[in-house]
């Protein structure tokens, strides 16, 4: 597996750009393989459902670390929008609700009533 430049990181993984079209999520050393496998299964399911999320393309390993290859998608993460404009939190919350609704509708064919 080849990986390109690092483009991000989080608590459990580092993200690398490959061929300007793929994002490789490389899990950090010590992260249980079961966590990567569970994410892979969930990502495959989301991809099969055709939900608005980067498609999961492959599960790989690099230097003994599990990795998942996704389509690379450009844009600004929702959390960044929230931190830049907290006065628009309600709008961002509705956007997030819409995403969850699409997942639930695709999977469960129902959506719970509002709280």
Q: With cut-offs at 50, 70 and 90, classify the pLDDT of residue 115.
A: very low
**Residue 114 in domain:** no
Q: What is the mean pLDDT of residues 8-19?
A: 94
* pTM score: 0.73
The answer to whether residues 14 and 34 belong to one domain is yes
Structure tokens at 32: 């249980």
Residue 111 pLDDT: 54
Dihedral (Cα; 97, 99, 105, 111), 10-degree rounding: -10
Question: Which of 57, 13, 63 minimizes the C-alpha distance to 35?
Answer: 13
Distance CA 18, CA 29 (A): 20
Q: How many domains does the chain have?
A: 2
CATH number at residue 62: 3.30.200.20
Question: The domain containing residue 45 runs over which residues?
Answer: 6-71
Distance CA 68, CA 85 (A): 31
The answer to whether residues 66 and 16 belong to one domain is yes
Reduce the secondary structure of 51-89 to three states and give it as a string. CCCCCEEEEEEECCEEEEEEECCCCCCHHHHHHHCHHHH
**Residue 115 in domain:** no
Q: What is the pLDDT of residues 28-68, one digit of tens each?
A: 999 999 999 999 999 998 888 777 789 999 999 999 999 99
Q: What is the pLDDT of residues 79-102, one digit of tens each?
A: 787 788 878 888 878 887 887 777
């Amino acid at each position: 597996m080849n990986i390109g430049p690092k483009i991000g990181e989080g608590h459990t993984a580092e993200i690398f750009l490959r061929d300007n079209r793929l994002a490789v999520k490389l899990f950090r050393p010590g992260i249980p393989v079961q966590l990567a496998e569970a994410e892979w299964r969930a990502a495959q399911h989301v991809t099969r459902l055709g939900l608005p999320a980067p498609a999961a393309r492959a599960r790989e390993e690099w230097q003994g670390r599990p990795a998942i290859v996704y389509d690379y998608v450009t844009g600004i993460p929702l959390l960044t929008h929230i931190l830049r404009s907290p006065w628009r939190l309600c709008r961002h919350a509705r956007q997030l609700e819409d995403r969850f609704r699409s997942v639930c509708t695709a999977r469960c064919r129902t959506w719970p009533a509002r709280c």
